Every structure is written in structure tokens, then in C-alpha cells.
Amino acid sequence: MSRRSIDTSDPLIVALDFPSVEGILSFLEKVGEGIRWVKLGLEAFTRGGPSLVREVKAMGYSVFLDLKLHDIPNTVRGALQGLLDLEVDMVSLHCLGGKRMLKEAVGVLREGGGKTPLLVGVTVLTSLEREDLREMGIPASPRDQALLLSLLALRCGLDGVVCSAEEVEDIRARTGRDFLLVVPGIRWEEMDKGDQARTSTPEEAVRKGADFLVVGRPITRSPEPLAVVEKIRREVEEARGKGQ
């Protein structure tokens, strides 16, 4: 599966990590057409399910359904077949599911016909540091592990991966321009990192080569979310200008 034509001119994906469906819908009513992409993760999906996804899609947003699927190949196949009916635009699964699981997922989308979602693999969660990996029996650094899993995802035919900005340059150098890099953990230096360990500013991430930026709390917890959105977009344009 090669990268399909996708507009990354506005790379911002807003993570809708709210404790209720009402909170998600209220936020979307507030921002309206001020954003294009949104991310619905496990918290949103367990509270709102497929009906929430359909409602958000009906409002005109592009949806990244970030469920981080990770199971035996046949189970992931069945889950993806069910998700195709939701017509989401991007879906995630864990690269640690292994080659057979990843290839099975790619196969489902090839069989789906028509419009299918972009498939991205989660490499190393941005909440993890080297010591966390060691405790799980992984001797590699987050950077080396993310690169290893990105190359596996590329060989298996995924459209891209989710990684921190710290790994973007290494992954881009080995995977090429057509491999999508989705970067969460976006924070400004003066902000509380929360549960994020490997973070970056929007400008840093884009300058290094990120295609999409996933931003949640800095936007959703702001009293003026669209002002933060515009700040991010300005930084993106400045970073792209410097790279020319």
C-alpha cells in the first residue's frame, strides 16, 4: 500500500480526549469549521462508540480513529472489517503486533475497495522513556526502537507511523518522503508535559519532517481554543518557510 494523495497543508489533528460525549460535541460546536482533523481515541470510543464516530463524520470532520489495535492477526482483521463501515480517514494499530498482524491489516484495507482509511502504526508511546522500555525487556532506546518498528511498518505496507518528534529525522531519512509521520506529544516549553515524556513544539516537529501534529490538551483545555489553533498554524508556516 503506497501513500495515497492526502492534503497535509493543514497538519493539525485535534485530540478530543474528553470524559464525555457531551464534552466532545460541545467543543466541536464551539470551534466549528476552525479545525479540520480530529482524533477519537479509546476514551472517546468507549463512551460514544460507532455512533459518535458517525456523528462527528456527519459534522464534516476528517477523523483519525486512534484505537491502537493490538491482537492476534485474525482478531485485528475482524476489527478493521467492522471499522470500514465507519468511513474514518485514518486508523492506528500497534507495530508491536508483529509482521503477520500488520500484513493482515493491510490486506483488509486492500480488500475493502473504494475509499479506505490511512493505516498508521504506533511505534513507541510518547509517555515512555528508555527505562520504561528496559522494564519491558526492550534494550533499545526509544529512538532506535521507533526506527526499527517504522521500517517494519514500511515493509508491511502501512501508510506511516506515529512517533515522537525526537525520532522523526531518523525515520524520515530511512523511509522517504512518501511515508506519513504523525507526531503527538506537542507542547510548548513553558507548558506542563502531563503524562508525556518525549515532547516537542509545533515548529520543531514540522521542521524535522512531521506530516501531522496531534494536539489535545493545549487546545481543548484552553479558554480560547481557536487562538491556540492559529498559533500552531503560524508556527507551522514559519517552520515550512525556514525549510525552503
d(CA 165, CA 179): 15
DSSP of the chain: -PPPP---SS-EEEE---SSHHHHHHHHHHHGGG--EEEEEHHHHHHHHHHHHHHHHHTT-EEEEEEEE-S-HHHHHHHHHHHGGGT-SEEEEEGGG-HHHHHHHHHHHHHH-SS--EEEEE-S-TT--HHHHHHTT--S-HHHHHHHHHHHHHHHT-SEEE--HHHHHHHHHHH-TTSEEEE--B--TTS--TT-SS-B-HHHHHHHT-SEEEE-HHHHTSSSHHHHHHHHHHHHHHHHHHH-
**Which entry of 30, 39, 57, 68 is annotated as an active-site residue?**
68
d(CA 171, CA 49): 33
Neighbours of 211 (CB within 10 A): 20
Q: Is 68 annotated in the active site?
A: yes
Q: Helix 42-58 to helix 21-31 angle, to the nearest 10 degrees? A: 40
| Catalytic sites, residue numbers | 68
